[in-house]
Structure 1
Amino acid sequence: MSQESPDENRPKTIRGIDPDLYDRALALSRQTGKTVGQVINDALSNLLNALDSTADKVQEVGRAFVEGVQEGRGELTVISNVEEIEVTREELASLGRQVVFRSVKRLVLGEDVDRETFEKYVNSIVQVEELVVRNKSLPKLTVLQRCRFVKRITN
């Protein structure tokens, strides 16, 4: 059982509620057997969750746009649509710029890819089914900061 504080049960007044919206909430509460407060709480919760989700998607689109611009200017190299690839420290350094790994089924970061190399040369890892981090001294949380839509990370 949860203990409610005395303030939780006090009525809350919200000014400026549209009368038509209130009437619709009242009708819905009668249909569902819920209180008007429960209906309003559900509606606000759903709205706020949708807005949070939308903000995340907008941020993701913004990131992809910036990556596209950087790629167009030659600041990034994109490696994409590959079944499996293993990269070494030397291979990353030989490019001389950051890399985006996108749509790779299995990406293996070699044992010699240390934290410094990873942070300097790997911009992002997107839509990878399995990411293998062979260097145990490369923290997974450091790697995860550059990952989006990665299904599995292993050693």
Structure 2
Amino acid sequence: MSTSGEENNERKTVTIRGLSTDIYDRVSRLAKETGATVGEVVNDALKRYIATLENISRTIDNMIRSGDVVMISGVSSLTVTKVDLESLDKPVVFKDMDELIFTDDVTNELIKSKVAKIVNVNTVYVPKSVSTLLIASKSELVKKIVPRQ
């Protein structure tokens, strides 16, 4: 085993339970198109995914350590108002939630100044007046951004 953080090139056969057949078919197609094996494509995808998660974690950890942000995490569903955001001394990171709901009184300017990051949230609901691209620019691993009517 390597102690310097180098990749271990040892290979073994593994079974992945719960893998979507659609995902497997797409990976298989991609492997054929690129001349790689399914294992090579999956290994590359997992390496990139892990690196992305590690970078996000490092960035947030650095922000927290430096005292630059407030962290709100692990709440299943959270509704955030203009007053909530204005009451914060520092920008906020919203992390690990099923849904994050910004009320109609939240503005683009408040999002710009008070929301540092939105990480690992299934669905973010925003007022129609708030830019979904602005929300996307502050998001990592967010599945859906939904403008409310």
Q: CA deviation at 1:64?
A: 1.6
For residues 84-123 of structure 1, what are the structure 2 equivalents within 5 Å?
Answer: 84-123=77-116
Hey, what's the Cα distance between the residues in 1 that align with 2:72 and 2:103? Answer: 16
Tell me which amino acid in the other structure corresponds to 2:120.
Q
- Matching of residue 149 in structure 1 with residue 141 in structure 2: yes
Distance change (3 Å), C-alpha of 1:66 and 1:148: closer
Identity of aligned residues (%): 25
Specify every segment of 5 or more residues in structure 2 that has no aligned partner in the other structure, as ranges.
1-31
Tell me which amino acid in the other structure corresponds to 2:94.
F
Q: CA deviation at 1:98?
A: 1.1
TM-score by length of structure 2 reads 0.65
Distance change (3 Å), C-alpha of 1:53 and 1:83: closer
Match of 1:54 among 47, 57, 77: 47
Structure 1 segments (4+ residues) deviating >3 Å: 46-57
Q: Compare CA radii of gyration and give the structure with the larger one.
A: 1
Distance change (3 Å), C-alpha of 1:48 and 1:83: closer
Q: Which has the higher helix share?
A: 1
Match of 1:139 among 128, 131, 139: 131
Q: Which residue of 2 aligns with 1:126?
A: 119
Hey, what's the Cα distance between the residues in 1 that align with 2:36 and 2:48? Answer: 18
Q: Which residue of 2 aligns with 1:67?
A: 60
Specify every segment of 5 or more residues in structure 1 that has no aligned partner in the other structure, as ranges.
1-38
- Give the count of matched residue pairs: 116
Q: Secondary structure at the match of 2:130?
A: coil
